[in-house]
């Protein structure tokens, strides 16, 4: 199997520096005195804290979903007759601001537990601060593997780690596409690195030629940088270009690949590729793009249709997996609080450990496997943009359409 050795070397060097930096600055677990009373303010209410940055691409969608779930749980009686309140704090998508947001939610706003977490980089810092303050934190979205690999007793996660995002896609590749060559474009971040490393391992395991491994810096994403990043793929295009990116980068990468005349099958590793704006802002470029997803509205999970219909009716827009994660995360958190013997962190953790629950996002149970601790492990799916709409093409038991190969490409079925 051939590989681009220069690209691999650059990737490994960047990954090493990132790992060294991260291990140096992530907050470490520390025994700390109880930072705040679990009954601050109105004792008829229970506060759940949400670190939240209004400027990230899925902010509005996730907040809408949290608020929908909040309305539902309070209509059902809250937690043992006490009304649930969501307290928000601005994490700014940054490490220090994220840690400060957690301290504000716990020390000033009296949050008995925390939910949320979007960006992997600063969620790691927030998780470290939650651990120091002894507050259970149920992560909804941030995917960096390390978040649930550090042994922190307060950190739980409902979404899969980045290294597991492509499981459904890998199955689809082997049973339908059977690519002979592949290139990987990814943001040099915890989310991007995790997805890229997993795909590299998959390719090597199945003897798929890796034509290029291309990390990029999203802070430099102007036209010249973008073109110089992608242009080397034009000489010998791979069967598949796999991209791990957030929304604006996903749009720009797909557009530039097509403008350069590269006809490879484009595949996204979730992230920005599942956002409805990817289709609306990419136009024809989005057509026939595949993407990993963690959820689809046609999935047969209990409450999925009700959640989807209510969201569309309430907000006149389509939710993707980020919304399903946020909605279900709050339902799981409240379920644990209802079952907990008290609002003490240890009792909340014990209740979370016993979680065995069906949600619109799927089945939720926290377990330890490999190096992961308190990690949920849901299945993943594959969507394709067909005629301006996301359709599920894998797995077949929930597929809403057949895979449509790009012109000139025939799937290699068994």
pLDDT confidence of residue 26? 40
Predicted pLDDT of residue 409: 63
Does residue 96 sit in helix, strand or coil? helix
Question: 213 and 245: one domain?
Answer: yes
d(CA 318, CA 311): 7
pLDDT of residue 271: 86
Higher per-residue confidence, 353 vs 220 = 353
Evaluate whether 343 touches 112 at the Cβ level (below 8 Å): yes
The predicted pLDDT at position 18 comes to 41
Q: How far is CA 257 from CA 131, 182, 204, in A?
A: 43, 14, 24
Looking at every residue in the chain, the average pLDDT score rounds to 89
Tally of domains in the chain: 2
* Beta pairing partners, 390: 385
Q: Are 109 and 73 members of one domain?
A: yes
Do 275 and 191 share a domain, yes or no? yes
Give the orientation angle of helix 190-205 with respect to helix 5-25, to 10 degrees. 140
Residue 300, preceding bond cis, omega within 30 degrees? no
Cα(407)–Cα(216) distance, rounded to whole angstroms? 29
Highest mean pLDDT: which range of 51-65, 146-160, 264-278, 398-412: 146-160
179-215 tens-digit pLDDT = 999 999 999 988 889 899 999 999 999 999 999 999 9
Tell me: do 76 and 105 sit in the same domain. Answer: yes
Name the DSSP class of 89: E
Residues 93, 181 share a domain:
no
Task: State which residues form the domain around 77.
Answer: 45-160+300-375
Q: What value does the mean pLDDT take over residues 123-146?
A: 97
Residues 384 and 253 in one domain: yes
> Is the pLDDT score of 153 beyond 50?
yes
pLDDT digits (tens, 9 = 90+) for 232-270: 999 899 999 999 998 999 999 999 999 999 999 999 998
- pLDDT on residue 146: 95
- Both tokens of residue 64? 């809408």
């Amino acid at each position: 199997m051939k590989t681009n050795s220069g690209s691999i070397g650059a990737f490994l060097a960047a990954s090493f520096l990132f790992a060294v930096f991260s291990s140096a600055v992530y907050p470490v677990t520390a025994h700390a005195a109880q930072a705040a009373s679990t009954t601050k303010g109105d004792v008829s209410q229970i506060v759940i804290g949400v670190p939240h940055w209004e400027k990230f691409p899925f902010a509005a969608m996730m907040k809408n979903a949290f608020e929908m779930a909040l309305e539902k749980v309070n209509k059902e009686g809250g937690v043992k007759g006490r009304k649930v309140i969501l307290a928000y704090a601005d994490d700014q998508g940054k490490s220090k601001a994220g840690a400060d947001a957690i301290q504000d939610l716990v020390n000033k706003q009296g949050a008995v537990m925390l939910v949320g977490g979007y960006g992997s980089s600063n969620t790691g810092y927030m998780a470290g601060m939650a651990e120091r303050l002894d507050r259970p934190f149920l992560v909804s979205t941030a995917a960096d593997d390390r978040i649930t690999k550090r042994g922190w007793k307060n950190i739980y996660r409902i979404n899969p780690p980045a290294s597991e995002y492509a499981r459904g896609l890998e199955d689809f590749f082997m049973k339908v596409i059977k690519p002979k060559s592949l290139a990987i474009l990814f943001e040099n971040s915890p989310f991007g690195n995790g997805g890229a490393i997993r795909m590299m391992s998959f390719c090597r395991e199945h003897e798929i030629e890796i034509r290029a491994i291309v990390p990029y810096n999203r802070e430099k994403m102007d036209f010249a940088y973008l073109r110089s990043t992608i242009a080397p793929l034009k000489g010998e295009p791979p069967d598949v270009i796999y991209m791990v990116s957030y929304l604006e980068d996903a749009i720009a990468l797909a557009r530039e690949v097509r403008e350069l005349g590269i006809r490879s099958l484009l595949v996204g590793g979730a992230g920005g590729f599942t956002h409805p704006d990817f289709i609306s802002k990419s136009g024809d470029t989005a057509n026939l793009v595949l993407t990993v997803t963690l959820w689809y509205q046609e999935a047969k999970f209990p409450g999925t249709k009700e959640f989807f219909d209510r969201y569309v009716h309430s907000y006149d827009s389509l939710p993707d997996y980020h919304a399903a994660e946020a909605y279900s995360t709050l339902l799981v958190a409240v379920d644990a609080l209802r079952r907990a013997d008290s609002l003490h962190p240890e009792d909340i953790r014990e209740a979370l450990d016993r979680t065995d629950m069906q949600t619109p996002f799927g089945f939720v149970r926290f377990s330890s496997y490999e190096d992961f601790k308190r990690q949920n492990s849901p299945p993943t799916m594959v969507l394709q943009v067909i005629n301006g709409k996301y359709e599920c093409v894998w797995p077949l038991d929930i597929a809403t359409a057949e895979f449509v190969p790009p012109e000139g490409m025939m799937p290699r079925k068994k």
